[in-house]
Each structure stands twice: as structure tokens, then as C-alpha cells.
A and B are shown apart, each in its own frame.
Chain A
């Protein structure tokens, strides 16, 4: 029986990008549905009744929500191709810990830069750099967080690269100067076709952020 796979998503969402990269890595065909978050579709509200958020992954009519949970589901179901998590339990725990760190810290701290002004923004920028220095420390001299190959943690973090230009410009700093290994790692990830084809253009994201800022009365 052919699998029916649908993804409800929003193009600039880093969380949606994670799922798109996972699907591309596994070579899974799916129907992409763009959501207007100011006018959520009945399908989204039905499939994600608790959080009403994207991304939502619908496999043969059954919804899975929360990007990292979706990615693990995809890895569980399509397990014969391109494993995204390591096989060793300790390595898996280590990957889950760092992906959880990205989830808990990176979005919030990014928001503190792009969605604020003045003193708040200054404080946000400082925190952003601190978080990325921690991430840089964890990467060390490895080519990827996953070691020799792109893995779960890489996938959870790389979508934020598409927001770097917006954050650097608004925060008035250069991430390459502050965290050179992070930027080198990101460029390495972008050499992968699955990542390069999934991530939106940084300037396009910057324009989108500008529109959001106007809507929030920040511009």
C-alpha cells in the first residue's frame, strides 16, 4: 500500500525545516501544504488540536506533532535508509540531550534579538553569543555534531542558519567573528543537497522578519 505523507508547514519555520530535511535525507515523497499562520486551516486545527502549531506530519491520516518527535518517528518508520540517530544508547542519549538544548535555548534567544529593540536587544545579543559558544564547545573539532556524519543534532540546529543573517544584521554583530567553528560547520552542512535545497534564502528570511517587526510595532 502506498504511504500517504502530508506535511503542514510554514516556509520560514526552523522547526518545519527539520522535518523537511529528514524527509529529504530518507528520500520520502510527500505533499507539502503551506499554512497561513494568521488564518490556520481546518486541517491544521483538526490535526494539532492541542498546540495548533506547525509542523504537523500526517502519515496515512494519523498526525504527529512537535518537530523532534516527528523526526524520531520518521527515523523509526523508515529505518532502513539513512539513520538520523546513532544506534548506541549512550550516543542516542547524548544526541537527544543536545537536540533538547537547541530546542530549549536557541529559538528563545534568537527571538530576544530579532523581536526586540534597545537594551533588550543588547542583552539578547549577549545571550545569543553565549548559547552559541556553548554549542561551539560541544562541536569541538568534529566535522558534525553527529561525528563523521550529519545527524540528529546537526539537523535540529542547522535550520537556524537561515535566520543568521537577520539576527546578525538586527543584532549588529558578526557570528563568524564570535563563533567561527559554528559558521564553518553550517557551511559544511550546506554542502549537503538535502540541507541546501531545504533552507530558504537568508535575505528572504530577513525580509520576513522585517515584516514581523513592523507588525509588532518594532520598526
Chain B
């Protein structure tokens, strides 16, 4: 029976790109549907009525939502190129760090680059202190990831795994945010391993083919969030 795999996504979203990266790694053909997030399609709302968000994977008519849930579904359905380790402890570890990245890192990075609430008027001094605090927090979070990488080529070991894919926000989008806002966060002197990993990560074919164009992404974030919080 022919399989039908649909991916509802947004070109600049690291979350929908994760899904595409995993499918590409496993050699799964799919149809991509670009969503206009300011004007969500009836299909998206039908397939994800609870959160009304992308990405959604629809496999033979059945929807799966939430990028990390989708990644696990992909791994369990298509067994080639496994992205989760076999060992239960290693699996728990990968899940822990993926959750850490999603729950802690992204919002801290945004705060450091553009301040907690874009569009809000802030007292100049207060904004300075909060910015320093946010940069320090990102540094601490990145240090955890640096330590977790150890001497491995990828978080997944010799090959790209679920955690590498989940860390696409760090591996590619972080650099974009840095350039768009002028704030330096992932420096080579502080995070040599993470920097090396990011370079390797973006060279993997399945990943490279699924990265949105850098200039377009930088322009998008600059337009949306302003010039950024770079300290003078």
C-alpha cells in the first residue's frame, strides 16, 4: 500500500525542520505544506485542534503533533537509521536533553538577544541588567550542553541522533539570532566542542538540505524583533 506522509510546517521554524531532517535521514518521501501562521489553513486546524501549531505530521491520514513526539513516532515507524539509542538509560538521557533545550534554552536565548518582551518599553538601566543576566543564563545553559557532548562527534555518538536534531536550534538558529541581534553567545573560546559540533551538524546532508537560507532568516528575525539587545 502506498504510504502518504504529509508535513505541515513553516520555512523558518526549527521545529518543523526537525521533522523534515528526521524523514530525510531515514529516506522517507513526504509532501510538505507551507503554513502561513497568520492565516492558518483549515487542514492545520483540523489536524491539530488542540494547539493549532506546526509541525504536524500526517501519516496515512493520521496526525501527530509536537516535534519531539513526532521524532519518536518517526523512529518507531521507520526503522532504518535509528535516531534513538537502544539502551534505555541512553534513551532517557537523550529525551532529558531534548526537553532541556526546548524548555530552557530557546527562551533564554531570545531573552538575551531581544529582551524578554519585545515591544515593551523598558527603563534603560533595568534593560541593561536584565540583558546581562540573560546572557549569563545562556552561558550556563550552553555549558551544560558543552559538557554533555564530551568527546563525541555528535550528541548521538558516531551518527546524528534525536538529540542532535532537537539541538538544531543551537546548531543553526542560534547563529542566526546572534547575527540578527548582534549579541554574541556561542563563542569558540568558551564552547569549542559545541562550535565544532555545530559545524559538523550543518554539513550532514539530511540536515544541510533542510536548513532555511541564512540571509532570509536573519532578515526575518531582524524585521520581526528589531535590531536587538547588543551591548555597546
Could you tell me which A residues sit within 8 Å of B by CB distance?
50, 59, 62, 64-66, 69-70, 72-73, 76-77, 89-90, 92-94, 96-97, 100-101, 134
Contacts and interface: CB of A to CB of B under 8 A. Distances in A.
A64 B8 CA distance: 33
A70 B92 contact: yes
B88 A77 contact: yes
Given A89-B76, A92-B76, A100-B66, A69 B88 contact: no
Given A90-B62, A92-B76, A50 B91 contact: no
Interface residues of B, number: 22
B71 to A, nearest CB: 10
Contacts of B91: 72-73, 76
The 10 closest A-B pairs by CB, nearest first: A76-B88, A89-B76, A93-B73, A73-B92, A93-B64, A96-B69, A64-B92, A69-B95, A89-B77, A77-B88
Nearest to A93: B73
Contacts of A92: 72-73, 76
A67 to B, nearest CB: 11
B72 A93 contact: yes
A89 B73 contact: yes
Contacts of B69: 93, 96-97, 100
B50 interface: yes
A71 B134 CA distance: 33
Give the secondary structure class of B's interface: helix
Contacts of B76: 89, 92-93
A84 to B, nearest CB: 13
B99 A69 contact: yes
A38 B38 CA distance: 45
Contacts, number: 56
A173 B106 CA distance: 37
Interface of B: 50, 59, 62, 64-66, 68-70, 72-73, 76-77, 88-89, 91-92, 95-96, 99-100, 144
Contacts of A65: 96
Given A50-B100, A100-B69, A101-B50, A90 B92 contact: no
A59 to B, nearest CB: 8
A89 B76 CA distance: 6
A131 to B, nearest CB: 11
26 contacts: A50-B100, A62-B89, A64-B89, A64-B92, A66-B95, A66-B96, A66-B99, A69-B96, A70-B92, A72-B91, A73-B88, A73-B91, A73-B92, A76-B92, A89-B77, A90-B59, A90-B64, A92-B72, A93-B69, A93-B70, A93-B72, A93-B73, A96-B69, A96-B72, A100-B68, A101-B50
Nearest to A60: B89
Given A50-B144, A62-B89, A72 B95 contact: yes
B90 to A, nearest CB: 10
A96 B72 CA distance: 9
Nearest to B86: A76
B89 A73 contact: yes
